[in-house]
Every structure is written in C-alpha cells, then in structure tokens.
Amino acid sequence: MPRYRDLTHSARPSDAPRVVEPKNPMRTTDPGAAEMLKLAQEQKIETVFDRVVAQQPQCQFGYKGVCCRICIAGPCRVKADDGPASKGICGATAYTIVSRNLVRLIAGGAASHSEHSRHVLHTAHAMTEGHAPDYKIKSPEKLRKLAEKLGISALDRGDMEILSDVVELGYADFGRYQERPLAFLDSFLTEGRRRKFNHTNIMPKAIDGTVTELIAQTAMGVDADPVNIIFGGLKASLADLAGEYIGTTLSDVLFGVPEPIVSESNLGVINPKMVNIAVHGHNPVLSEMVVAAARMMTDEAKKVGAEGVNIVGICCTGNELLMRQGVYLATSSASQEMAIMTGALDAMVVDIQCIYPAVQQVAECFHTKIVTTESIMKIPGSQFLAFNASTALEDAKKLVKIAIESYKNRDPKKVSIPSERHKLVAGFSIEALTDIFSKVNPERPISVLTDAILNGQIKGVALMAGCNNLKRPQDEGHVAVLKELVKNDVFVIATGCSAGAYAKFGLMSPLAVDAYAGPGLKSFLKMLEDANPQLTTGLPLVFHVGACVDNSRGMDLAIAMANELGVDVPKVPFVASAPEAMHEKAVAIGTWCVTMGLPTHVGSMPPVEGSDLIYGITTQIAHDVFGGSFIFEMDPVIGARKLLDALEYRTWKLGIHKQAAEKFNTSLAQGW
Ligand code: NFS
Ligand code: SF4
C-alpha cells in the first residue's frame, strides 16, 4: 500500500534552511530580474533584495508565532516551557497565542479578497443602476449559468435584471445576519463538504460578519481554546473562498470568460519605443479600462514621439489582463521594483494589494510616475487619482495621459531593458478546459481527466499558487516544484505569482512540454491537442487559470472531478502547493484548500511552530476531520515528492474502493 513516506509520523519538515543564504542579496533566479538587480546594486539603489538581507536574522518569537501584540499590555512572548514566562501577562499560553495569531492572518486574507470582490460587486451594482456606462456584460452566458446555480430565475428576463438579482444576493452574502449559508459558497460545494461544514459548524453566513467575529473572538480575554479558535479560522477561510468565487464569477460576467490566448512575459516586454504603463495590483475594474483607454490613445502617444502605448501587467492585475486580453506580463511580486529599474516605465498605475510602498522610492531615481487610484491605498510621494465606476473611461484616459506626459521626461541614457521574454499560452478558465476535454468526450468532459488518472496515464492534478517569499531566491521554489511534478506526469494548473513565475521562465509554453513533461503527461497533452485542431496555439506545460482570486477556479475543477468520480473532494487525486507563500491571502487560501480536503504544500513556514498542538492540528488532525492537511516543507523537491505520495495514495485508495464497489455491487465508499 503506498503511504506517506514519513516514518517519523511527526509531519516535520526536512532540515533544509529556513532562509537560504541569508546574507546574499542576489536573491532571484529570474534572469530578467537578475539583470536589473545587478544594475540596482551597481547604482546603489535599494530594493527588496537588500531589505530582506537587512532583516536577518528575523525574530524567532514572531517566526514561531509566540509573540502576542493583541493588547497593549504586551508585547508578550512565550519565553519558557513553564512558570510565569511560559504565558503572556493575561495568562494566554502558547497554543492560544499561536492560534490567535494564525487565524488573524486568515481574517486579513479574507478581508483582502473580499475587498477586491466587493469592488467588482459595486461596479456591477452601478451598472444595474445605469451609473457605470463604460462597463458591459461581456458574458451573458456566464451570468445565466451563475444565476441558475444561485437559484435566480433567468427565464424571460433581460441580462441587467438578472445581474441585479445576482448583485443583491452578493451584497447579502457580505452582510447577512439571518441563519442561512453564504449563497455563492453553498452554490458550488459538494454535498459532502456542505454536510461536513454544517456538522463542524463552520459554514459562514456572511463574509463581513465572519471576519469581524473572528477579530472579536481573538481579542484580549475572549477565546482561549485553540481548537475553537482554529475552527473560527476555518470558517473565515471559507468566507475567503466565497469572496474569491464572487470575484472570479462576476469578473467573468463583466470582462469575459478567459479563453486560450497567446502572449509573452518577462521584463523584455517593456518596449523602448513606446509609452510603457505597468498596471499593478489586483482589480480588473480599473485595469480593463486602462487597457481600453490605451488602445484609443495611440495618436496622442505618437504626438510625443512614441509609437503607441504599451500596457504591461504586474502581479495579479497582470494575470487578469493576460488571461482576458493577452496583455504582456512584465513581472511578478518580488521583482516589481525591477520593472522601474528598466528606466523605460513611464507610469505605474496601482490599485490594491501586494504593491511595495518602496516602488515610489525607486521611481524617484527615474522619471516613472506612480499613481494610486483607491481611497484606501495611497503612498506618500506618489500621485493619487481617484478611479470611479461612473467615470471609468475618462479616469482611465487621465491615467494614460499621465504616462504620455511622463514619457517626455524619459532619460534615454537610463534605459536598460533586459532582452528576456518568453512566449506563452494562457487563458484556461474551467470553461475553456472543459471545452478542450469535451472534444474527446462530449457527454462527460471531466472524465477525460479522471480516466487518465485512474488508468495511470497521469498522476493527478496540482494547483500551484501563491506569492514570492524572499526567504529563498525568487521563483526557485515555484520552478523546482513544477519540474518535479510534471516529470512525474502531474497535470498542473497555476495561479497568481506562481503562474507569473512559469510565464516569465517560458514554462507556460507548448515548447516546454517536450523539455520537461514525463511520458504520461506528454501523451495526455498530445491526445488533447490532436482532439482540438482548432487550438492553433498548442497546449502548455502548465495551465494558467488566473489570478490569486481565481484559485476558486482550481477548486471548481476539483469539485467537478469529485462529482465525476462520485466521491467528495478529499478522495480526488488533487493537491495544492504554494512554494513561496507570503501574503495573508495565501494563508487564507491554503487554509480553505485544507478545509476543502486537499493535501496542501507550503514552502515557507507559517508562524505555527511555537505550539506543538497547533502544528499537529494543521498537519495531521486536519486530515482526520476534513481530509486535507498542510505539508510544511522548505525543500521544494522534497515538498513535491510529498505531494506525489499524496496523489499516489489517493489514486490507489480510489482504485481499491472502486474494485470493492464493483465486486459487491455497492456504492462507492466515501471515507478517506
Ligand atoms: Ni496572490 Fe496576487 Fe502575488 Fe501573492 Fe500577491 S500578487 S493575490 S498574494 S504576491 S500571489
Ligand atoms: Fe499579552 Fe495577553 Fe495582551 Fe496578548 S492579550 S499582549 S498575551 S496580555
């Protein structure tokens, strides 16, 4: 019987270093970023790569989660195993402090994702009221499908009328006080997960209320029970998933469902002959308009001597635009300052999340204008231009105009753009993937994937997600985990800055299949290509399913596979990995992956080691209750092998249960 090969049963990570070469500031494996980093070092321009070194060694109380700053009697640290120094001033012990700190990260993540989707919801609302004339419903089909899932009638009704009901339900999901589950979440769960969440009392009824409740639950002198606190965190992680699902589905309705599209990535996409605008952050409500405005303003750019306006994306905004518009992805989170180092970026337009305040400092060494656009996101020294749904296109034109003006100040002597750029194929929404599978089996498209797993052609599916965390060189973890998985025939989908890494390295191209895929994966992709001659782009080694908020697409696929196999998610050969997790949002995502039943690898240790109990809950007990658990492993190759073990185990068990069901003519065992 294949089993996890952890003979210690401690679920402890290997002794790989927690911070790789802590004194070395050359902390990127991305060739484009590395070229710019060398330039920054020569010119003594401070970047994140210097600051991460300056922070070493980092505080071990904080690292292990045993520093409490929840009230101002603190900070309190757990300094001893027993006696008064083993507790905070109020008497909170390590397990209370660690669990409170951990779930507050989840609350931060849920608040962030839902802030993003609230914005999309507000825009949709403004549309239904006639106050957002520049936006349109790009995918009425998705709207109607969504309405059906949510139990909203679409019969004989206009699109706006339907959207209005969807928006109302979305708003209710944010602020509901009545006892009924979050509608968007409930609409896409498996029956097994629904039952599990009701039994364990973690089915959220509203996003805002759940986050607020968790902050209240973990305030000084409230909950001290670590298990109860963790369950509060799980509930908030489900609120996070709901927020993501609202964000993804409504963005698809408004801006279109992604379809396979060809583009390019890495800093070489910045064009010396054009006005270059980087859009950075997360929200397609802003960036989609900037792209539309830029396409209208070629003539104005020509007036200042440029050939046109070149929009490039950074972080998840980059992913959103790449997926829907084929916009070039310049770079990902840890190398955002490096885009400015090219000297050819005329403006960086940002909205919310993952934007280093330091971009302003680097921009001041060049002519680059940093423009913030949201009332809750300003950076001292940068320009602020409020972006409103009611005047969206006009606002976007103003933003493009700022870049065109800024172009006049570009100093050609300072321009140094790396040649690094790679072709890629992106745009794999679940709809697009299903369409590809349906060319092999029109009746049951998802069975194409599950059958390939059951017959051993591929090993399973992995969702690669998460950020950059410079505890190790940028992208090293993402690339190493991917190579190990595809070599062993795993079908890989990716989001966020993980997808960004693969895009930048040329791993999201059909060319990479021959170089890196194992024989099973290769033949599976070839079979799909042969069945889809209309797809002139070919199929990539790793499938881009979107921004971080689109991890909900990943879960959509896992659920579709569960339904196809007639089991609940914890039995599906599907795993998740965030080799370089950093943001609170990544903690929230990882937590719902576990709660939904996935083995989830994280390559940067979250602050849980200060309590053996919490460590055990996250890595072992979670599996017993929910079927998923965390695998904390800093060595990416070992992390990938643990994921392969988990996939192998699930497929083996599924096979045994199927055999038994056939032999005794019973239904499939549901246990994991
Ligand atoms: Ni996700 Fe996207 Fe990147 Fe991490 Fe930040 S951009 S929402 S949080 S760093 S993947
Ligand atoms: Fe210290 Fe307790 Fe206050 Fe935390 S809540 S800072 S442990 S007194």
Name the residue at shortest CA distance from atom 7 of ligand 1. Answer: 548
Residues 329 and 248 in one domain: no
In the predicted model, what is the mean pLDDT of residues 553-560?
98
302 is written with which tokens? Answer: 């020509």
Residues 193 and 239 in one domain: yes
Nearest ligand to residue 247 Cα = 1
Residues 151 and 245 in one domain: yes
pLDDT tens sequence across 578-599: 999 999 999 999 999 999 999 9
Residues 203 and 288 in one domain: no
Residues 486 and 621 in one domain: yes
Q: Does 26 reside within a domain? A: no
Alpha carbons 17 and 471: distance in angstroms, whole number? 9
For residue 214, the domain's CATH number is 1.20.1270.30
Q: Does 43 reside within a domain? A: no
Q: CB of 496 closer than 6 A to ligand 1? A: yes
Residues 178 and 324 in one domain: no
Pocket of ligand 2, candidates 79, 87, 220, 611: which has the most ligand atoms within 8 Å of its Cβ, to mutate?
220
**In percent, how much of the chain has pLDDT > 90?**
97
Q: What confidence tier does 611 reach under pLDDT thresholds 50, 70, 90?
A: very high
* Closest listed residue to residue 106, CA positions, set 229, 197, 221: 229
For residue 587, the domain's CATH number is 3.40.50.2030
Residues 267 and 220 in one domain: no
CA angle, 575 then 580 then 586, to 5°: 70
Residue 3 one-letter amino acid: R
**By three-state DSSP, how is residue 269 classified?**
helix
Does the pLDDT of residue 208 top 80, yes or no?
Answer: yes
Output the CA 218–ligand 2 centroid distance in Å.
11
Does the pLDDT of residue 102 top 70, yes or no?
Answer: yes
Specify the pLDDT at position 10. 76
**Residues 92 and 101: beta-carbon distance below 8 Å:** no
Q: Does 351 reside within a domain? A: yes
CA angle, 188 then 190 then 196, to 5°: 120
Q: List ligand 2's pocket residues with C-beta within 6 A.
A: 68-71, 73-74, 76, 88-90, 92, 97, 220
Alpha carbons 631 and 345: distance in angstroms, whole number? 40
**In percent, how much of the chain has pLDDT > 70?**
99
Residues 476 and 584 in one domain: yes
Specify the pLDDT at position 671. 86
Q: What confidence tier does 3 reach under pLDDT thresholds 50, 70, 90?
A: low
> Virtual CA dihedral for 466, 504, 396, 253, nearest 10 degrees?
-60
Q: Among the listed ranges 63-67, 275-279, 441-445, 536-540, which one has the minimum average pLDDT value? A: 536-540
**Residues 38 and 48: beta-carbon distance below 8 Å:** no
Pocket of ligand 1, candidates 323, 333, 550, 589: which has the most ligand atoms within 8 Å of its Cβ, to mutate?
333
pLDDT tens sequence across 137-170: 999 999 999 999 999 999 999 999 999 999 999 9
Specify the pLDDT at position 5. 55
Does the pLDDT of residue 9 top 80, yes or no?
Answer: no
Residues 318 and 217 in one domain: no
Tell which of 379, 414, 449 closes a domain: 414
Structural domain tally of the chain?
3
Alpha carbons 102 and 114: distance in angstroms, whole number? 19
Nearest ligand to residue 466 Cα = 1
Specify the pLDDT at position 7. 59
pLDDT tens sequence across 647-662: 999 999 999 999 999 9
Residues 449 and 528 in one domain: yes
Q: Does 89 reside within a domain? A: no
Specify the pLDDT at position 672. 86
Owning domain of residue 510: 427-664
**Helix/strand/coil (H/E/C) assignment for every residue in 604-649:** CCCCCCCCHHHHHHHHHHHHHHHCCEEEECCCHHHHHHHHHHHHHH
In the predicted model, what is the mean pLDDT of residues 549-564?
98
